[in-house]
Amino acid sequence: MIVCLCHRISDRDIHREVRSGTACFEQLQDDTRVASSCGACHDCAREVFEAALGVCGGCGRREAAVSAR
C-alpha cells in the first residue's frame, strides 16, 4: 500500500529500509522523504515503521512478536 502519496513511498519501501539497517524514523525520513512534505501520512508512516522495526509503541523495546498487541 502507498503510505506517502507525495513521495510515493509504500509500506514495502519502509520495510526494505528497516531490513537494510534504518532504526530511526528521522533517518527513514532523510532517506526516503516519507512524511516530509504535507505531513498527512506521518502517523501511518510511523506505525508502519514501528511495526517493521518491531518496536512497541515507540517505547524503544524490541518485542518478539508485534502481533501480540
CATH number at residue 58: 1.10.10.1100
The alpha carbon dihedral of 35, 46, 26, 67 has a sign of: negative
Please identify every stretch of the chain with a pLDDT value under 50, giving residue numbers as ranges: 56-69
- State how many domains the chain has: 1
pLDDT for the residue numbered 64: 40
3-class DSSP state for residue 19? helix
Domain carrying residue 32: 2-68
The neighbouring-strand residues paired with 10 are 2
- At residue 9, the pLDDT reads 98
How much is the pTM?
Answer: 0.77
